[in-house]
A and B are shown apart, each in its own frame.
Chain A
Amino acid sequence: MLSSPFIAQPSSVSQIMLRVLLALIPGIALYVWYFGPAILVSITLASITALATEAAMLKLRNRPIKPFISDNTALLTAWLLALSIPPLAPWWMVVVGTAFAIAVSKHLYGGLGSNPFNPAMIGYAVLIISFPVHMTHWLTPHALSGVELTFIDQLNYIFNGVLPNNLTLDAITMATALDTMKTQLHLGLSVNDIRDMPIYGRLAGKGSEMVAIGFAIGGLYLLFTRIITWHLPVAYLAALFATSGIFHLVDPQHYVTPLFHWFSGAAMIGAFFILTDPVTSPTTAKGKIIFAVGAGILTYLIRAFGGFPDGMAFATLLMNICVPLIDTYTQPKVFGKKGGGK
C-alpha cells in the first residue's frame, strides 16, 4: 500500500547540482579571460573521466546507471577538481585525480550521499602529494607573460608535453601568488617589497584575484537562490579574515593582509562551492558554523606555517573527519523541549 504524501514539490538533485554548476560559470569565464582556454580542456577531460568512472562503478555494483549519471554530482566534483589544479597539468594527472576521487572517495562508500570526505578535495590531496612539482606550474596571466599561447599549443602541451619551439616551461608558468609570497617570506623579504613584484595586482595575484571575484559572484547567486545557507561561507570567510587579521596586526611585515587571503588561492571557491557540499558538511546550523570556523583557522595555519601553498583542501578534509561528531553534539532542541514552552 503506498504511503502518503502523494504530492511533492518539483525539485530534484540534478536541478540543484545544475544550478551550482551554472554558478561556477562566472569564475570559469574570468579564468579563461585571464589565463587562456587551457582550463576548459582540463574541465572537459575531468568531466568525461568522472562520468566514465561513475558508470563503470555503477555497472560493477549492478546499479541502474541512468538516474545517477544524470544527477550531475559527478560533474560538479570533476569541475571543482579541475579548477583547483594547474590548467596546464598533464592529462594523466587530471584523469588519475578524478578517477581516484569518484571511485575511491565516493563509490567505495556506497555512492552519492555516504562519502565522509569531499571527493574533489581527496582528488586534489592525492595529486598534490603524488606530483608536487607539476602542481606548481600555474599559468601566468597574459598581461604578465606577454606570450599569447594559442589553444593548439596548450592542447599540444597537455596531451604530449611539447611546447612551441622557443618557449621554456618556466617562461609561461609561475607559482601561485600564495606560493611566491611564502617562498619570498622565507627568504626574509618583507611583505611590502614582495607586493611590489609584477605578479601582484591590487588585492592578490593579478589574474587569480579576478577569478576569485567571479567565484564570489557565483556564490552569492547560490546564496540568494537558497541552494546554500549563509552559515558556511560567512563563517569560513570571517574566520579566515579574523585569524589572518590578528597575525597581520601583530606583524604586518611578515603576515599578509586578510583581503589578500580572501582573494588568493582557493578561499572563495572553497567558501561557496567546496565547503558547502551538503553530503560532507554538518546538517545543523551550529554545526555548520563550527565546521566553517575550523576550516578557516586551519586554512590560515597551513598557508602561513604549513608545508603546502594552499591549505583549503587539507582544511576541508580535516574538518570532514569531524563532521559526524559535530553533528552528534550539535543537535538542536526539539519542538516543545526548549524549556519554558513559551
Chain B
Amino acid sequence: MRKLFSFHGGVHPPTHKDESTRSPIAQAPLPSKLVIPLSQHVGNRAVPIVQVGERVLKGQQIGRPEGKLSSAVHASTSGTVTAIDMQLVAHHSGLPDLCVTIIPDGKDEWITHAGMDLKNTPHSELRKQLRNAGVVGLGGAVFPSDQKTDAHHHQIKTLVINGAECEPYITCDDLLMRERAADILHGAEILRELLHAEEVLIGIEDNKPEAVAAMQFAVEQDKHDKMEVLSIPTMYPSGGAKQLIRILTGIEVAAGVRSTEMGVQCFNVATAYCVWRALAHGEPLLSRIVTVTGNVTDAQNFDVLIGTPLDELVALAGSKPDTDRHIMGGPMMGVDLPAGTVGITKATNCIIESSPKLFPPQAPALPCIRCTRCADVCPAELQPQDLYWFAKSNNFGKTQEFHLFDCIECGACAYVCPSNIPLVQYYRYAKSEIHERERDKKAADLARERHEYRQLRIERDKQEKAEKLAQKEREAAAKAAQAAAAAPVATQNDAQQKLIEEAIARAQTQAAVAHPQNTEALTPEQSAEIAAIEARRAKIREMATDAGADDEPHKQ
C-alpha cells in the first residue's frame, strides 16, 4: 500500500452526503427550453456560429472556440435556436452574458458522430478533437482539457485522477464512480497516453467505500496494471488539486507553478469520463451529473443536459416552498445564484436548495482577535488574519507580500473564524481590485508607448518638412544662381519678380485643368445624400458666419 502524505490544516464540516446517494443517477427529461451560455470555461468566450431560427441537431457545435485558451459549446438536444442574446448566467455577479436559447423539438436527433481510432491517431489530433468536443475540467475549474493534456515537454511521472469530492452535500462524482467506473478508467488510460505518464493514482475519500470498491473492481477487471485506487482520509479540502497531489505523491505544487513542471497532472473523474465519451464515441460534452440536494423532498443525482433551466431541474427533486436561495456547488465554495432561470453549465456539479433553516444567515461579524485558528486550518499555509488585516484597509501591496494569490478560496478559514468574519469575501475583493489595477497599469503603459511614438512621429514629420523646404530652397537658389550667371545684369529683385510671374502662370494653368468632383456615376439616393450633406455644410458655414457676427460662442 503506497505511503500517503498529509497537508497542513483542513476542517471537518458535516458531510450531509447520504441524503443524495440513496437512489441511482436518474435521467432528467427534456426541459422546455435550453439556455446555453457561450462562456462556460476558462479562457475566451466561444463565438456563436448559428443564426436565430436555425434548426440544430443534438451535439452540433453552436459556439466555435476562439484563441488558444478556449473551448467549444454544443447544442444539448435537437431544436431551433430562438435567441442569441444576453441572459442571466450562473455567476457571482448576477450579470448577464451571451447565451444561445434553444427550444427542443422533442426528437433528440443526434448529429452524425463517430469515435476515433485511438491507437494510431496522433496526439495533436486527439487534442483538437477534445477542444472541438468542448471537454473541460468538470471538477469546478472548467479549464479546457486539451491545454492540460499537453505536457509542454515536461516528463510526467504521475497522473492523479481526483475522486476525492471533499465538499459537503456533493455526491455526483461518487455516483459516477459507482455506476460508470469502467468508462472512467478508459478515459484515464487515454489521458495517461496523452501525457506519457508512468502511473495513475485514483484518490477517493474513505467516506465513499462503495465508490472505492467499484473503481477497485474495474481496475482489476480491465487489468489496468499501471493504475492504483487509494482511499485517503476524509478532510476538507483534500479534493483540491494541489492538496490531493500532496496527499498521494508528497509533491507540493506552489501557486503559480504548473503541476506538469513537477511531473504531476490532475484530472477529475467526470473529466476522464467525458474524455472517453468524446474520443471513443465522438460525443461532445452535452450533459453532466448534477446533485440536487438541500431543502428538497428527495435529494438525488440527475444526468442533466447542459442549459437546462434551474427551476425545472429543481422541480424534479421536489424543491420545498421555503427555499430562499439556490447555491451552485457546495456550501464551502459554492456560488449564490442570482435567479432560478439560469441554465445548468459545465461547472454545475451540485445545486443546493438553501433555506434560512438549512443555512442560517451569518451572525454579525466581530473584529478579528488574531486567535490564528484560521492560520491553523489554512491548507495553503498562509496567514489569513494578516491577509484580512491588509485587505480590510485596502493595503493591496502588503496582501501580495503575504501571498494573497496562493489562496485557493476554500473557505476553511471563514468556517472556523470565531468572529464570523467573511474572510473569503475580503480575499476575493482584494484579488479583483488587484486584477483591475493590473489591467489599468497595462493600459497606461500601452497609452504611454502610443503617446511617445506619436511625439516621435510629429518630430520626424517636422524634420522631414524642414529638410524638404531647405532642399527646395537650395534647388531654387541654384536655379536662381544659374539664371543670374546667364543674365548677370538682372539684380536680386528681378530674380524674385521672375519667380512670382512663373508662380502666377503655373496657378492659372492648374485652375484651368481642375475638373469638378467625381460625381458622374452616382445612384439617385447617393446624390440625394450628398445634397443633404452639402445643405448641412452650407447651414454650418452660414451659422459660423452668424456666430462670428454676434460673437456668441460656437458651442455651449
Chains A, B in direct contact (C-beta < 8 Å): yes
Mask for B52-72, Cβ within 8 A of A = 1, else 0?
A: 000000000000000000000
Residues on A with C-beta less than 8 A from B417 are: 8
- Using CB atoms, name the residue of chain A closest to B409: A4
Question: Taking the complex as formed, is B380 at the interface, i.e. its CB lies under 8 A from any CB of chain A?
Answer: yes
B253 touches A336 (CB 8 A): yes
Say whether, besides A111-B367, A278-B369, A5 and B250 are in contact (CB < 8 Å).
Answer: no
Residues on A with C-beta less than 8 A from B416 are: 8-9, 11
B380 touches A5 (CB 8 A): no
A3 touches B424 (CB 8 A): yes
A321 to B168, CA, bound (A): 43
Residues on B with C-beta less than 8 A from A7 are: 13, 168, 331-332, 359, 415
A16 to B416, CA, bound (A): 13
A73 to B370, CA, bound (A): 13
Q: B428 contacts which of A3, A114, A334 (Cβ < 8 Å)?
A: A3
- Using CB atoms, name the residue of chain A closest to B411: A5
A337 touches B254 (CB 8 A): yes
Say whether, besides A3-B92, A4-B332, A67 and B380 are in contact (CB < 8 Å).
Answer: no
B403 touches A334 (CB 8 A): yes
A336 touches B370 (CB 8 A): no
Residues on B with C-beta less than 8 A from A110 are: 367
Residues on A with C-beta less than 8 A from B366 are: 12-13, 67-68, 71, 112
A9 to B255, CA, bound (A): 27
B383 touches A279 (CB 8 A): no
Question: Taking the complex as formed, is A186 at the interface, i.e. its CB lies under 8 A from any CB of chain B?
Answer: no
B420 touches A4 (CB 8 A): no
- Give the contact stretch, choosing among B334-342, B484-492, B525-533: B334-342
Closest beta carbon of chain B to A327's beta carbon, Å? 7
Question: Taking the complex as formed, is A180 at the interface, i.e. its CB lies under 8 A from any CB of chain B?
Answer: no
Question: Taking the complex as formed, is B251 at the interface, i.e. its CB lies under 8 A from any CB of chain A?
Answer: yes
A67 to B366, CA, bound (A): 8
380-432 of chain B: CB within 8 A of chain A: 380-383, 385-386, 402-403, 406, 409, 411, 414-420, 422, 424-425, 428
- Using CB atoms, name the residue of chain A closest to B263: A341
A337 to B254, CA, bound (A): 6
Mask for A1-43, Cβ within 8 A of B = 1, else 0?
A: 1111111110111011000000000000000000000000000
- Give the contact stretch, choosing among B303-311, B371-379, B493-501: B371-379
Question: Taking the complex as formed, is B333 at the interface, i.e. its CB lies under 8 A from any CB of chain A?
Answer: yes
A-B pair number, CB within 8 angstroms: 138
Residues on A with C-beta less than 8 A from B362 are: 8
Question: Taking the complex as formed, is A132 at the interface, i.e. its CB lies under 8 A from any CB of chain B?
Answer: no
Question: Taking the complex as formed, is B549 at the interface, i.e. its CB lies under 8 A from any CB of chain A?
Answer: no
- Chain A contact residues (Cβ within 8 angstroms of B): what range? 35 or more
B254 touches A334 (CB 8 A): yes
A336 touches B386 (CB 8 A): no
Say whether, besides A283-B370, A335-B7, A1 and B94 are in contact (CB < 8 Å).
Answer: yes
- Using CB atoms, name the residue of chain B closest to A227: B371
Question: Taking the complex as formed, is B179 at the interface, i.e. its CB lies under 8 A from any CB of chain A?
Answer: no
- Using CB atoms, name the residue of chain B closest to A68: B366
Residues on A with C-beta less than 8 A from B369 are: 13, 73, 112-113, 278-279
Question: Taking the complex as formed, is A202 at the interface, i.e. its CB lies under 8 A from any CB of chain B?
Answer: no
B336 touches A2 (CB 8 A): yes
Say whether, besides A113-B368, A335-B379, A342-B251, A1 and B414 are in contact (CB < 8 Å).
Answer: no
Question: Taking the complex as formed, is B229 at the interface, i.e. its CB lies under 8 A from any CB of chain A?
Answer: no
B383 touches A6 (CB 8 A): no
A8 to B406, CA, bound (A): 22
Question: Taking the complex as formed, is B242 at the interface, i.e. its CB lies under 8 A from any CB of chain A?
Answer: yes
Question: Taking the complex as formed, is A183 at the interface, i.e. its CB lies under 8 A from any CB of chain B?
Answer: no
Question: Which of A6, A13, A73, A342 has its CB near the most chain B CB atoms (within 10 A)?
Answer: A6
Residues on A with C-beta less than 8 A from B386 are: 283, 327
A213 to B354, CA, bound (A): 51
- Using CB atoms, name the residue of chain A closest to B246: A335
Residues on B with C-beta less than 8 A from A336 are: 242, 252-255, 257, 406
- Using CB atoms, name the residue of chain B closest to A284: B383
- Using CB atoms, name the residue of chain B closest to A337: B254
Question: Taking the complex as formed, is A164 at the interface, i.e. its CB lies under 8 A from any CB of chain B?
Answer: no
Residues on B with C-beta less than 8 A from A278 are: 369-372
Mask for B215-254, Cβ within 8 A of A = 1, else 0?
A: 0000000000000000000000000001000100011111
Q: B385 contacts which of A112, A283, A331, A338 (Cβ < 8 Å)?
A: A283
A114 touches B367 (CB 8 A): yes
Closest beta carbon of chain A to B222's beta carbon, Å? 32
A334 touches B338 (CB 8 A): no
Residues on B with C-beta less than 8 A from A6 are: 327, 331-332, 334, 336, 354, 359
Question: Which of A5, A15, A111, A335 has its CB near the most chain B CB atoms (within 10 A)?
Answer: A5
Closest beta carbon of chain A to B334's beta carbon, Å? 5
A12 to B366, CA, bound (A): 9
Question: Taking the complex as formed, is B262 at the interface, i.e. its CB lies under 8 A from any CB of chain A?
Answer: yes
A5 touches B385 (CB 8 A): no
Residues on A with C-beta less than 8 A from B375 are: 283
A333 touches B381 (CB 8 A): yes
Residues on A with C-beta less than 8 A from B505 are: none
Q: A342 contacts which of B250, B333, B368 (Cβ < 8 Å)?
A: B250
Say whether, besides A5-B415, A6-B334, A334-B254, A12 and B363 are in contact (CB < 8 Å).
Answer: yes
A342 to B254, CA, bound (A): 11
Question: Taking the complex as formed, is B545 at the interface, i.e. its CB lies under 8 A from any CB of chain A?
Answer: no
Residues on A with C-beta less than 8 A from B257 are: 336
Q: B8 contacts which of A9, A331, A335 (Cβ < 8 Å)?
A: A335
Question: Taking the complex as formed, is A161 at the interface, i.e. its CB lies under 8 A from any CB of chain B?
Answer: no
B414 touches A5 (CB 8 A): yes
Question: Taking the complex as formed, is A332 at the interface, i.e. its CB lies under 8 A from any CB of chain B?
Answer: yes
Question: Taking the complex as formed, is B32 at the interface, i.e. its CB lies under 8 A from any CB of chain A?
Answer: no
A283 to B372, CA, bound (A): 6
B383 touches A5 (CB 8 A): no
A15 to B416, CA, bound (A): 13
A1 to B332, CA, bound (A): 15
Question: Which of A110, A113, A114 has its CB near the most chain B CB atoms (within 10 A)?
Answer: A113
A117 to B180, CA, bound (A): 61
Question: Taking the complex as formed, is B471 at the interface, i.e. its CB lies under 8 A from any CB of chain A?
Answer: no
Closest beta carbon of chain A to B265's beta carbon, Å? 15
Q: A5 contacts which of B252, B332, B379 (Cβ < 8 Å)?
A: B332
Mask for B328-358, Cβ within 8 A of A = 1, else 0?
A: 0101111110100000000000000010000
Q: B371 contacts which of A3, A16, A284 (Cβ < 8 Å)?
A: A16
Question: Taking the complex as formed, is B27 at the interface, i.e. its CB lies under 8 A from any CB of chain A?
Answer: no
Question: What would 12 A/B residue contacts be, using CB atoms closer than 8 Å?
Answer: A4-B327, A4-B332, A6-B354, A7-B13, A113-B370, A283-B383, A334-B382, A335-B8, A335-B242, A336-B254, A341-B251, A341-B262
Apart from A5-B331, A112-B367, A335-B379: 15 A-B pairs, beta carbons within 8 A: A2-B325, A4-B333, A5-B332, A5-B415, A5-B424, A6-B336, A12-B420, A16-B371, A278-B369, A283-B372, A334-B381, A336-B406, A341-B251, A341-B252, A341-B253
